[in-house]
Amino acid sequence: MFNLPTTNIGGPELFVLEFGDIVIYFSPYTAALFLFALIFTALAIVSRPEQQVDITFGGDAYYAKEVDLNSLQFQRFMAIACGLATLGAMVTGDVFNFTLFASMVGITNIGIVAAYRNRHVLNAAFQYGIVAMLASVPLFGGAAIILANTGTLSMWELFTDALVVPIIAKAFLVIGIMGEGMAPFYVAKAEITRAQGAPFILMIHVSSLLLFLRVIEIVLSM
């Protein structure tokens, strides 16, 4: 069973871990993404937040934004949780698990910035949260349509030629991932970068980028 059906996109499989019918696998492609997510999670664990300085326009005055310990701890925890969810999404071999991990990335992205009292940041986080919640409709809908049409969610079976996945399900998956933080919906997140705490805020962008690279691999392989 353990020969990845499509090897021309992700490459041959390197390692397989079987949990019942949920089979976690590493191909050169997903292993590279996994490694990337792992490095950034490690950075979130060890690094200290940046100290932002705002300079007032037209004068010499400036003020530094302090990150207090409580919000630092919460933000770091959320960044690590975001990294773990991204790691899971990179290697999972089950479409529904992938959508769950993607939604979890969305939740933790809100959590990373939710501790700030800055009104602009909170407003952006709120709008982004609404978009991310709406995106879970096509995300779960895509997985459900795949299940209804093929009777399975395992990528090992979906990647074979025997099963044809409807184009609408693929489109739903991609739209869902885009809603979690990619291009056209990304505008909702732009203001979020005002929040201080650079390595943790970066996790928001890294996770979205990796999720998109992974969903493209899944959709092309199906």
Partner 1 sequence: MDITYPVGLLVVAIALIIGFTAIVLERDDLHRILLTDLAEILALVLIALVATDLAEALILPGLVVGISELMAVSEVYITREGLRAPPAEPAFHIEVMDSAPGILALILVGYGIILSGFTGGVVAAVGTVFYFMCRGHDERFELIETVSGYAWAIWIGAFFIFMFLPQYWFFAVMMAGGAILLKVMAKMSLVGTMRGGPDV
Give the interface with partner 1 as residue ranges (CB under 8 A): 19-20, 96, 100, 103-104, 106-107, 110-111, 114, 117, 119, 122-123, 125-126, 129-130, 132-134, 136-137, 139-141, 143-145, 147-148, 153
Q: Considering the complex, what minimum distance in angstroms separates the CB of residue 130 from partner 1?
A: 5
CA–CA–CA angle 93, 175, 209 (5° rounding)? 65
* Parallel/antiparallel/unpaired status of strands 22-26 and 15-19: antiparallel
Q: How many CB atoms lie within 10 A of CB 148?
A: 10
Task: State which residue, 10 or 101, has the beta carbon closest to partner 1.
Answer: 101
Distances (CA, A) of 124 to 6, 52, 66, 80, 193: 40, 19, 21, 21, 9
Task: State which residue, 30 or 99, has the beta carbon closest to partner 1.
Answer: 99
Task: State which residue, 21 or 54, has the beta carbon closest to partner 1.
Answer: 21
Q: Which is nearest to 93 in space by CA: 162, 32, 20, 40? A: 20
Q: How far apart are alpha carbons 180 and 208 in whole angstroms?
A: 7
Residue where the block lists tokens 């943790």: 200
Q: Considering the complex, what minimum distance in angstroms separates the CB of residue 56 from partner 1?
A: 25
Q: Considering the complex, what minimum distance in angstroms separates the CB of residue 42 from partner 1?
A: 23
Q: Considering the complex, what minimum distance in angstroms separates the CB of residue 122 from partner 1?
A: 4
Q: Considering the complex, what minimum distance in angstroms separates the CB of residue 195 from partner 1?
A: 12
Are 124 and 109 spatial neighbours (Cβ–Cβ below 8 Å)?
Answer: no
Sign of CA dihedral 21, 24, 30, 33: positive
E-assigned strands of the chain? 15-19, 22-26, 52-55, 62-65
Task: State which residue, 190 or 220, has the beta carbon closest to partner 1.
Answer: 190
Task: State which residue, 42 or 134, has the beta carbon closest to partner 1.
Answer: 134
Task: State which residue, 31 or 195, has the beta carbon closest to partner 1.
Answer: 195
Are 72 and 144 spatial neighbours (Cβ–Cβ below 8 Å)?
Answer: no
Q: Which is nearest to 91 in space by CA: 210, 220, 219? A: 210
Q: Considering the complex, what minimum distance in angstroms separates the CB of residue 65 from partner 1?
A: 17
Task: State which residue, 11 or 141, has the beta carbon closest to partner 1.
Answer: 141
Q: Considering the complex, what minimum distance in angstroms separates the CB of residue 55 from partner 1?
A: 26
